[in-house]
Amino acid sequence: MDKRSRLRGQGARRRRLLIIIMGGLLAALFLWLGQDRLSLFFQWAVTGLGLSDEDGSSAARLERGIIYDRNFKELALTYERVSVYANIREINDLAGTVTRMAAILERPSDEISERLSGNAPRVWLARDISQEQEELIGGEGFRGIYLHREYVRTYPQNTSGAHLVGYAENNSGLAGIEHYLNEIDNRYRLTDVERGGYPLISEGRPGVNGNHLILTLDLKIQNIAERFLATMERGSATSKAGVMVIEPQSGAIVGYAQNPSFDPNEFHRYGQWVFNDIFLSPLSIPRPLYDFLHHVFALSAADEQGALPPWSIAAGGGEQSPPVTWWDRLGGARPLIPDFGVMAPAAGAPAPARHNGTGIPEDEKTVPALSPVQLVTALTRVLNGGDAIEVHAADRFVARINQREYLLAELSPGSEGAAVSAAVSEEAHHLFTALGTPGPLQAVNLSTTSYSSGWEKGYQAVWRHRVIFSVLPGAHPELIFMVVISEPGFSVTTMSDPVAQLQTILAPIIGLQRVMKNVADVVAPRQLEEVNLAGSRADRLTDTIAPPESPSGQVFSMPLLVDMSLRKSLRSLRGMDVELVVYGTGRVVRQEPAPGTRLEAGATIELYLERDQVERVLRTEQ
């Protein structure tokens, strides 16, 4: 028995010693390889163990899907980067290899020779080579020269919409929509055969196979918002500004701009402060907005009791403070970070604060700290007819297989029911109009102030936030704009009035939105990409139909478009160099000029559309 125990002890000690030796060898291996050669080691290991397919299909499955805006403009995509490395010990003709590689890579011979004469057994010669260079190296059959393939995430829009899109590294999303893509991609790890069971929504769409994400964001609206922010002079190096544009009926974000922004292609060189999203940092509810929502609470309470008086009476009699459940109904119970935001504010980031009587009174203990996203959610739920929508940026998740596109999931959260009744929402419109100031295109603006505090370099600091809402139009809003300007201290030192500046971008943005809605109602997803949507002048909706081959000075005859859908009208006008102005939705009931009128290139055509009366009757009966 003693001998057995002694044998067991010796065996255990040998196993521990073996584990220690193996661990030391692995650590030495990693130190010897270094960061540059570590990826090569893993590639050799995977290839040698047979974990990758010869046709590269395994690598293709690792590729991240493309992120598009709602018009199928690429926001994030993955491309294959090919690099060249050399195993010096395998090269038998060093001089010849140097000469030929220098010619193919278009590098000086001295540089190639110096790299191949080093002490390291394996060295990089060039990264991200062209397709032509790759074919030349593969065709030459160099001994000791190898190609290394990897997938790189790139962002063609650079800083545009960076806080919304986020960034990824090593095939993993780290922030924003990129992080959200990880979550939904994990839900649909399907083979090509399994994907075929999902609804086919488009055929003949060229592009990369894989699972792709389509957002609600519109890059044309995004560019207008970013130009608006660029006109505002920052008062200090730490001041920030942002503008968000949402559809109140769905909660879809169509514009999401911030200044300063960052380039996700080079996200490593930025500090945490730049990544912090101005729309996700909590702040106290601005007093005017609090008063408005307090009055709406009084309206809702009266409505639930079956006696809804005029809003002026209900508002004046509302002395009871709204309970926590009221803020929950308006979206305050939702997590601070929605689908597109995954980075919590950094340590020492602003927290809600109340100063100089401008915040919510201290006796209002039931008021939660809300982020700007939650504030605009609350305002939207009250003014959109009472629907409890969720602000979101992800729209559809699709699988593209051999130029066919299948719908994997509709990502719009939809409505959670009613936050307030339609009657309360209607009365709230009157109250909001009375509190705000009128703007162009029947917009109503509300400019407010809020504060937050935190620690900066060991000292407590205070930030002042200028929060501006613009509801367009005020009666039945099609878009809601939110501007947030944050700066340390008790004053925001912008050179010009941001409310006045905001009014200048309302017309072009609402024009793009209406054209997009009108065309989307009657055009299939594939055809939607082929339509050239342009901005509007004033409150008109314009769309230029001008193919490159149309000669200048051409004369056209105005076709008959009455009783046609917008889709058929676009087909009838194809090839004509004209400017199209569209009013309403449905079928054409009136056109200007009249049919048969001779038109020159650049002429303006106005179409007035209305929905069929039969449709209205059927919907009412249903």
Whether residue 416 lies inside any domain: the answer is: yes
Per-residue pLDDT, averaged over 27-42, amounts to: 52
Distance (Å, whole) CA 146 – CA 491:
60
Whether residue 66 lies inside any domain: the answer is: no
Whether residue 179 lies inside any domain: the answer is: no
Question: Are residues 531 and 452 both part of a single domain?
Answer: no
Lowest mean pLDDT, pick from 22-26, 122-126, 414-418, 602-606: 22-26
pLDDT band at 475 (very low <50, low <70, confident <90, very high): confident
Output the CA angle 365-368-372, nearest 5 degrees: 145
Question: Are residues 231 and 145 both part of a single domain?
Answer: no
Quick check: 84 and 146 in contact, CB under 8 A?
yes
Whether residue 574 lies inside any domain: the answer is: yes
Question: Are residues 243 and 314 both part of a single domain?
Answer: yes
What tokens does 191 get?
């083979």
Per-residue pLDDT, averaged over 142-171, amounts to: 89
Q: What is the CATH number of the domain that holds 121?
A: 3.90.1310.10
Q: What is the pLDDT of residue 392?
A: 93
Question: Are residues 287 and 144 both part of a single domain?
Answer: no
Question: Are residues 228 and 340 both part of a single domain?
Answer: yes
Q: Who has greater pLDDT, 592 or 360?
A: 592
Per-residue pLDDT, averaged over 31-44, amounts to: 48
Q: What is the pLDDT of residue 321?
A: 72
Q: What is the pLDDT of residue 560?
A: 86
Q: Who has greater pLDDT, 389 or 188?
A: 389
DSSP class of residue 169? E
Cis previous bond, 413, omega within 30: no
Lowest mean pLDDT, pick from 36-45, 170-179, 550-559, 562-571: 36-45
**pLDDT tens digits along 507-533:** 889 888 887 776 554 444 444 444 433
Q: Torsions phi, psi of 471, nearest 5?
A: -105, 125
Instruction: Return mean pLDDT, the chain.
Output: 76
Domain ranges, residue 591: 514-621
Question: Are residues 548 and 479 both part of a single domain?
Answer: no
What is the DSSP code string of 522-570?
A: HS-HHHHTTS-----STT--EEEE--TTPPTT-EEEPPP-TT-BHHHHH
Which of 495, 524, 539 is where one domain is finished? Answer: 495
Distance (Å, whole) CA 159 – CA 262:
5
Whether residue 500 lies inside any domain: the answer is: no
Closest by CA position to 325, among listed 419, 258, 407, 221: 419
Q: What is the pLDDT of residue 190?
A: 64
Question: Are residues 339 and 408 both part of a single domain?
Answer: yes
Question: Is the predicted pLDDT of residue 590 greater than 80, yes or no?
Answer: yes
Distance (Å, whole) CA 620 – CA 622:
5
Q: What is the pLDDT of residue 519?
A: 58
Question: Are residues 411 and 544 both part of a single domain?
Answer: no
Q: Who has greater pLDDT, 481 or 274?
A: 481
Question: Is the predicted pLDDT of residue 264 greater than 50, yes or no?
Answer: yes
Q: What is the pLDDT of residue 356?
A: 37
Q: What is the pLDDT of residue 376?
A: 93
Question: Is the predicted pLDDT of residue 389 greater than 80, yes or no?
Answer: yes
CA pseudo-torsion sign 306, 309, 313, 315: positive
Question: Is the predicted pLDDT of residue 161 greater than 90, yes or no?
Answer: yes
Distance (Å, whole) CA 392 – CA 395:
8
Cα–Cα separations (whole angstroms), residue 259 to 228, 339, 425, 432: 10, 21, 34, 29
Q: What is the pLDDT of residue 357?
A: 39
Whether residue 595 lies inside any domain: the answer is: yes
pLDDT band at 367 (very low <50, low <70, confident <90, very high): low
User: Which among 54-63, 254-263, 293-302, 439-448 has the top mean pLDDT?
Assistant: 254-263
Closest by CA position to 326, among listed 301, 359, 305: 301
Domain count of the fold of the chain: 3
Distance (Å, whole) CA 549 – CA 575:
8
pLDDT band at 12 (very low <50, low <70, confident <90, very high): low
Q: What is the pLDDT of residue 491?
A: 58
Lowest mean pLDDT, pick from 85-89, 488-492, 514-518, 528-532: 528-532
Closest by CA position to 321, among listed 350, 361, 354: 361
Q: What is the CATH number of the domain that holds 598?
A: 3.30.10.20
Which of 126, 154, 182 is where one domain is finished? Answer: 154
Distance (Å, whole) CA 446 – CA 582:
30
Q: What is the pLDDT of residue 57?
A: 37
User: Which among 43-52, 107-116, 552-561 has the top mean pLDDT?
Assistant: 107-116
Question: Are residues 462 and 328 both part of a single domain?
Answer: yes
Q: What is the pLDDT of residue 494?
A: 53
**pLDDT tens digits along 401-451:** 888 888 888 888 877 788 999 989 999 999 999 999 998 888 999 999 888
Per-residue pLDDT, averaged over 382-389, amounts to: 92
Question: Is the predicted pLDDT of residue 562 greater than 70, yes or no?
Answer: yes
Q: What is the pLDDT of residue 121?
A: 77
Question: Are residues 472 and 583 both part of a single domain?
Answer: no
Q: What is the pLDDT of residue 308?
A: 61
Question: Are residues 335 and 465 both part of a single domain?
Answer: yes
Q: What is the CATH number of the domain that holds 277?
A: 3.40.710.10
Question: Is the predicted pLDDT of residue 604 greater than 90, yes or no?
Answer: no
Whether residue 322 lies inside any domain: the answer is: yes
Other Cβ atoms within 10 Å of 351 Cβ, number:
16
Distance (Å, whole) CA 554 – CA 546:
12
Q: What is the pLDDT of residue 493?
A: 55
Q: Torsions phi, psi of 379, nearest 5?
A: -65, -40
Which of 435, 468, 495 is where one domain is finished? Answer: 495
| β-bridge partners, 78 | 153
Q: What is the pLDDT of residue 587?
A: 81
Whether residue 341 lies inside any domain: the answer is: yes
| β-bridge partners, 584 | none
What tokens does 319 get?
């002395």
Question: Are residues 108 and 256 both part of a single domain?
Answer: no
pLDDT band at 615 (very low <50, low <70, confident <90, very high): very low
What stretches of 260-414 adopt beta strand conformation (E)?
351-353, 387-389, 394-401, 404-410
**pLDDT tens digits along 267-326:** 989 888 889 899 988 888 888 999 899 889 988 888 887 766 554 444 444 556 777 788
